[in-house]
Amino acid sequence: MNEQIFESFPVLNTQRLLLRQMTQEDDRCLFEVLSDEATCRYLTHNAVNDIAVIQRMIFGMQRFFEEKQRIRWGIAPRQDNSIIGHCGYFDIDNSNSCAEISYCLKSGSWGQGIMTEALDEMLRFGFEDYGLNRIVAKVMKDNAGSVKVLKKLGFVQEGLLRESLYKNGQYHDLMIFSILKSEYHRTDPN
């Protein structure tokens, strides 16, 4: 694993998107994304109703990066730089070159291939620059959009983690997907 990637935040570019570090100046945009019930339906947390929570979240993301524990990019259209979603690596296991991903896009931007484009570049970075060998994603069973994005990128389902997420008074099954470095091919070269 290449720990040098933590020396300065790795900005990533795709055809339409800029993946960059978020700062406190992004609090309103990120609040817009994460205060939407539809967007948070399949996330581990519920919709956020207090911007102070977002400000703490951004602070936490910066801290995790400084501590070389997690990387989370804000997703912005190249032309206007305002945050419309986020994606990143967490649960990074250096000994086994493995990490989990999570991602989220504001509902007004769904269905335009944006997350496929962002994750494709994030996977390239993970395998080629960071040195990961295995990338994992866990998805709530009914999240058809997320499953479609993962399959499009070449992830395969490994199984079902039964009742492994407790949210809103209920246990939920999570589908577990992975992709290996040996399987990765770019879907959207730019």
Ligand X SMILES: CC(C)(COP(=O)(O)OP(=O)(O)OC[C@H]1O[C@@H](n2cnc3c(N)ncnc32)[C@H](O)[C@@H]1OP(=O)(O)O)[C@@H](O)C(=O)NCCC(=O)NCCS
Closest residue to ligand X: CB criterion: 145
Q: Which of 61, 105, 132, 179 binds ligand X (CB under 6 A)?
A: 105
Nearer to ligand X, 65 or 155 (CB): 155
Helix, strand, or coil (residue 13): strand
Nearer to ligand X, 71 or 105 (CB): 105
Secondary element (H or E) of residue 187: none
Q: Which of 132, 139, 153, 175 binds ligand X (CB under 6 A)?
A: 139
Nearer to ligand X, 58 or 104 (CB): 104
Site for ligand X contains 111 (CB under 6 A): yes
Q: What is the DSSP string of 127-154?
A: IIII--SEEEEEEETT-HHHHHHHHHHT
**E strand intervals along 32-190:** 71-77, 85-93, 98-105, 134-140, 156-167, 170-180
Site for ligand X contains 178 (CB under 6 A): no
Nearer to ligand X, 13 or 112 (CB): 112
Site for ligand X contains 186 (CB under 6 A): no
* Number of C-beta neighbours around residue 149 at 10 A: 22
Measured distance CA(127)–CA(181) in Å, rounded: 6
**Interface with ligand X (CB under 6 A):** 39, 42-43, 103-105, 110-116, 139, 143-146, 148-149, 152
